[in-house]
Amino acid sequence: MNSCQSSDTSGERKRWSLDNFEVGRPLGKGKFGNVYLAREVNSKFIVALKMLFKSQLQKANVEHQLRREIEIQANLRHPNILRLYGYFYDEKRVFLILEYAAQGELYKVLQSQPNGCFDEKRTARYILQLSQALGYCHSKKVIHRDIKPENILLDLRGDLKIADFGWSVHSPSSKRTTLCGTLDYLPPEMVEGKAHDENVDLWSIGVLAYEFLCGSPPFESESNAETYKKISKVDLKFPSHLSPGAKDLISRLLRHSPRERLNLEGVCKHPWIVKMLNPSG
């Protein structure tokens, strides 16, 4: 087994290899390999070990993206951002040593709810945690750009962890993004191929708040063309069960003009968030 350098929890260089881990059950299957529950042999520390096949990374031409993801995620320290403790590789595979999120994907938890949505209290808790994590990212000049339920995990206590930094960039960025996958979470400036900044993440908080409360994202349609139109026009309709406070927060985030969106501090202090998180509220 070859081993390679990685940075450990204290930021010092440390050599990790597969021999350092007892590998347990698979936690999930990703696009480029599997994720396993694992335990570091000496400390017994539990982690999630993500195994990626180099051949598949090369085929999809995403080695550069992975390098950036590692570089960004390994340097972030926040209770609502999944830790990347280190990495190592052998001839065929790359391994990421990740914090273990025991409750798994938020997406699946959402789908398993009786009505496919969360109540307002739970939504407010997730939106606050997400906003605090993104506030931290933005303070480090990192824009996530790909906030969606599939990229959010939950730990043992049910706290939210942003997990996937594959599309994140260091700002400022005027990049035109190659769009792939769903358009549902993208803001007007990105679907329209315009320059964008950290305000893209504000839009996705609004989309997520809507999806948590209503069970599906606000601009979901039969076709990409239809979704594109709805995003561009900000064609937003609320179901009748939403409270005025929730509607107010979402409407303030889903603004076509990036600069008009409620900022992260404003989200954390929004009266609906404050009311929902107040034990007597």
Interaction site with ligand AMP (CB under 6 A): 27-30, 35, 48, 82, 98-101, 104-105, 153, 164
Q: Which is nearer to ligand AMP, 99 or 248 (CB)?
A: 99
Rounded least distance, CB 104 to ligand AMP, Å: 5
Rounded least distance, CB 229 to ligand AMP, Å: 30
Packed helices 244-253 and 120-139: angle between N→C axes, nearest 10 degrees: 30
Rounded least distance, CB 188 to ligand AMP, Å: 27
Q: Which is nearer to ligand AMP, 104 or 281 (CB)?
A: 104
**Sequence-separated (6 or more) residues with CB below 8 Å from residue 60:** 31, 32
Given the residues 8, 19, 119, 146, the one annotated as active site? 146
Rounded least distance, CB 127 to ligand AMP, Å: 22
Rounded least distance, CB 56 to ligand AMP, Å: 11
Q: Which is nearer to ligand AMP, 106 or 207 (CB)?
A: 106
Q: Which is nearer to ligand AMP, 51 or 254 (CB)?
A: 51
Q: Which is nearer to ligand AMP, 43 or 174 (CB)?
A: 43
Give the residue nearest to ligand AMP (CB). Answer: 30
Assess whether 201 carries a catalytic annotation: no
User: If you write DSSP's letter for every residue of the chain in order, what string do you get?
Assistant: ---EEEE-TTS-EEEE-GGGEEEEEEEEE-SSSEEEEEEETTT--EEEEEEEEHHHHHHTT-HHHHHHHHHHHHT---TTB--EEEEEE-SSEEEEEE---TTEEHHHHHHTSTTSS--HHHHHHHHHHHHHHHHHHHHTTEE-----GGGEEE-TT--EEE---TT-EESS--PPPPP-S--TT--HHHHTT----THHHHHHHHHHHHHHHHSS-TT--SSHHHHHHHHHHT-----TTS-HHHHHHHHHH--SSGGGSPPHHHHHT-HHHHHHHSTT-
As annotated, the active-site residues are: 146
